[in-house]
């Protein structure tokens, strides 16, 4: 299938089209906790970016609140559309840091085709390659491992006995009429997305079976059971729980490891090494269960992601809330 043009088009997005001129400060103040004021960061303007889905926005607010407690002057540039655009913004110096995933960098930025199954080895390889090729430094990776997955409704999975992606392929080979998919354009064209899964499972999804949506719309659309039987999801997204979706096991391991880590230009980190001292203990405290719980507060309960980020940091003792 000729889908790579979609990725090329995404890469052509100009940084100015990402809304990067519209940065703003956090809507509240925080005080130090275990994160203490860092003289080298006092008054330093740090522009924090993110991609345009819940987990990314949440992680970026966690970074913003933590660095604010250390004394930095934060500029919020979250919600940039697409991995290529936010990465371009980092390389160009339009943002100073954002959270990236090891698998995304390995497949899309390093142009590797074979993922490394071990988390640590995948991180080590990405860290080395990104520094040597692009001057991008990776802080220590988090236990958060946000993999791609395909999901369906609990009712559809039970009706057809679906537990794995191999089960799905067997079903669709038997009854192609059931093959309707909701996906976003970036996933369709990525080697670590649909392209790689098709190769691993030996099944090409016909273009006519794919309906394209934004990431956020896929979950609600999939849950109705009317528009598509299968949809692209992230394994740490809280809507999997709130909508009771059934995630299909990637039994042939087509999707790479996606451990999250803060990425920053090396020259910027060399100027402000305290960024790592602030962020790495925070990163180590995060895991998939935490992200799922916090995502439910945002997507299920409608809470402000900045407030959710602050309250988690307060709970863990990293910062304190002056209002308390």
CA 278, CA 272: separation in Å to the nearest integer? Answer: 11
Predicted confidence pLDDT, tens digits, the chain (324 residues): 323 333 333 333 333 444 455 566 788 899 999 999 999 999 999 999 999 989 999 999 999 999 999 999 999 999 999 899 999 999 999 999 999 999 999 999 999 988 898 999 999 999 999 999 999 999 999 999 989 999 999 999 999 999 999 999 999 999 999 999 999 998 998 888 999 899 999 999 999 999 999 888 999 999 999 999 999 999 988 899 899 999 999 999 899 899 999 999 999 999 999 999 999 999 999 999 999 999 999 988 999 999 999 999 999 999 999 988
Q: Residue 5 to residues 2, 8, 122, 183: CA-CA distances in angstroms?
A: 7, 5, 27, 16
**Strand-strand pairing, 97-101 and 260-265:** antiparallel
Would strands 97-101 and 73-80 be described as parallel, antiparallel, or unpaired? unpaired
Tell me which H or E stretch contains 104. helix 102-104
Q: Quick count: other Cβ atoms within 10 Å of Cβ 157?
A: 20
Q: How much is the pLDDT for 7?
A: 32
pLDDT at 23: 62
Specify the pLDDT at position 190: 84
Q: Give pLDDT tens digits for 77-106.
A: 999 998 999 999 999 999 999 999 999 999
Q: How far apart are CA 194 and CA 174, in angstroms?
A: 20
User: 132 is written with which tokens?
Assistant: 């040597």
**Residue keyed to tokens 């060399």:** 270
Residue of 63, 101, 95 lying closest to 80 (CA atoms) = 95
| pLDDT in the model for residue 248 | 98
Residue 4 CA to residue 291 CA, distance in Å, equals 31
Residue 190 CB contacts under 8 Å (≥ 6 apart), including other chains: 7, 107, 108, 196
List C-alpha distances in Å: 267 to 56, 74, 76, 87, 273. Answer: 24, 19, 21, 16, 10
Q: Which residues of 256-282 are buried (b: 16+ CB within 10 A; e: fewer)?
A: bbbbbbbbbbeebbeebebbbebbeeb
Q: How far apart are CA 196 and CA 254, in angstroms?
A: 6
Domain positions in the chain are 15-145+258-320, 148-248
Using the structure block, give the residue that is written with the tokens 């392929």. Answer: 169
**Domain 15-145+258-320: CATH superfamily, name plus number:** Periplasmic binding protein-like II (3.40.190.10)
For the chain, what is the radius of gyration of the CA atoms? 20
Q: Tell me what pLDDT residue 17 has.
A: 40
What's the CA gap between 51 and 75, in Å, rounded? 15
Q: What is the predicted pLDDT for the residue at 1?
A: 30
- pLDDT for 20: 52
| Same CATH fold assignment for domains 15-145+258-320 and 148-248 | yes
- Residue holding tokens 């863990």? 316
As assigned by CATH, the class of the 148-248 domain is alpha beta
């Amino acid at each position: 299938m000729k889908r790579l043009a979609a990725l090329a088009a995404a890469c052509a997005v100009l940084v100015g089209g990402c809304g990067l001129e519209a940065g703003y400060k956090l809507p509240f103040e925080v005080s130090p906790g275990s994160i203490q004021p860092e003289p080298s960061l006092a008054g330093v303007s740090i522009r924090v970016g993110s991609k345009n889905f819940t987990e990314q926005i949440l992680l970026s607010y966690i970074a913003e609140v933590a660095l604010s407690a250390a004394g930095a002057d934060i500029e919020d540039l979250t919600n940039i559309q697409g991995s290529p655009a936010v990465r371009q913004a980092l390389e160009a110096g339009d943002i100073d840091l954002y959270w990236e995933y090891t698998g995304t960098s390995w497949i899309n930025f390093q142009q590797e085709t074979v993922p490394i199954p071990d988390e640590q080895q995948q991180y080590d390889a990405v860290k080395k390659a990104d520094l040597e090729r692009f001057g991008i430094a990776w802080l220590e990776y988090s236990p958060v491992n946000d993999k791609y997955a395909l999901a369906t409704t609990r009712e559809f999975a039970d009706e057809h006995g679906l537990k794995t992606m191999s089960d799905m392929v067997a079903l669709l080979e038997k009854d192609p009429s059931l093959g309707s998919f909701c996906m976003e354009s970036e996933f369709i064209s990525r080697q670590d997305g649909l392209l790689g899964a098709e190769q691993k499972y030996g099944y090409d999804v016909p273009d006519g079976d794919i309906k394209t949506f934004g990431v956020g719309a896929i979950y609600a659309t999939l849950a109705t059971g009317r528009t598509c039987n299968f949809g692209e999801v992230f394994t740490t997204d809280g809507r999997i729980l709130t909508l009771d979706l059934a995630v299909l096991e990637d039994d042939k391991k087509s999707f790479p490891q996606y451990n999250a880590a803060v990425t920053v230009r090396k020259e910027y980190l060399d100027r402000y090494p305290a960024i790592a001292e602030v962020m790495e203990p925070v990163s180590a405290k995060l895991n998939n269960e935490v992200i799922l719980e916090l995502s439910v507060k945002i997507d299920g309960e409608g809470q402000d992601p900045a407030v959710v980020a602050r309250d988690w940091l307060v709970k863990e003792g990293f910062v304190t809330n002056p209002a308390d």
